[in-house]
Amino acid sequence: MRGFSLVVETPKITSSFAVQYSEEYKWPLFPLKFEEGKLVGDPAQATTARSAIQSWWNGKSTCPGLGLPTGQRSGIVILEADREGVESLRALEEVRKILEEADSDQPSTAYQFTPARHMQVFFRYEGTPLASGMILRGVRLLAEGEATALYPTCFPNGGVYRWRDYDETKIRPLLPLPACIIRKARPQGREDIPEAVPGPNTSGQNENGANH
């Protein structure tokens, strides 16, 4: 996970969400902390163990941000699309088509907006490990070796990760990753499958939305 400046202004709220994510949704978490003004976190630490969660997020002023690994470690993969510029319109249209193709009676899946106005669409996936990277123009797959921050992690300038349609009690259930994305993605470790259409890298934003 690339570094970016981070601060959490509401430690008690962050602690309550850490418990909810890890116990209700069974999402493994790891702490995001400052080192020399940059975000540092180790996805290998991710866990749902109550002892670790309560130790990291204890409601104190030093409460760290919330990190979620993607891929097999969590059973979650994310489609990340830029929401600014011409490419974003194409990217969002691609994501809309993907959601329409999802074989489910559920109208949508959970997604959040980053401080840089990138849209992250969350899916369940427990199949063959998938490599992270661009799979559509303007759309990046966050799978093996990647991670994201979760609400209420926020930047010093006030930008915050926010869920869409969060009703203060429940996050929308995750849809399974659509088959059309599985077909486009490259299995982890496979180099013989052609890369997808290139597009702008939307991960690793700093607090101003710039990429490292």
Taking a C-beta distance cutoff of 8 angstroms, is the pair 46, 30 a contact?
A: yes
79, pLDDT greater than 50: yes
Predicted confidence band of residue 36 (pLDDT cuts 50, 70, 90): low
- Cα gap 69→41, rounded to integer Å: 10
Q: Please give the average per-residue pLDDT across 170-184, as a whole number.
A: 85
Least confident stretch, 58-72, 98-112, 123-137: 98-112
194, pLDDT greater than 60: no
Find which of 10-24, 65-79, 108-122, 143-157 is predicted with most confidence, using mean pLDDT.
65-79
Average pLDDT, the chain: 75
Strands 139-142 and 175-176: unpaired
19, pLDDT greater than 70: yes
Q: Which residues pair with 67 in a beta bridge?
A: 30, 149
pLDDT at 148: 92
Tell me which residue of 171, 174, 180, 105 sits closest to 139, measured CA to CA: 180
In three state form, how does the secondary structure of 162-211 look?
EECCCCCCCCCCCEECCHHHHHHCCECCCCCCCCCCCCCCCCCECCCCCE
Collapse the DSSP code of 82 into the 3-class scheme (helix H, G, I; strand E, B; otherwise coil) and give the result.
Answer: strand
User: How many Å separate Cα 175 from the centre of its chain?
Assistant: 15
Predicted confidence band of residue 203 (pLDDT cuts 50, 70, 90): very low
Residue 200: CB atoms within 10 Å: 17
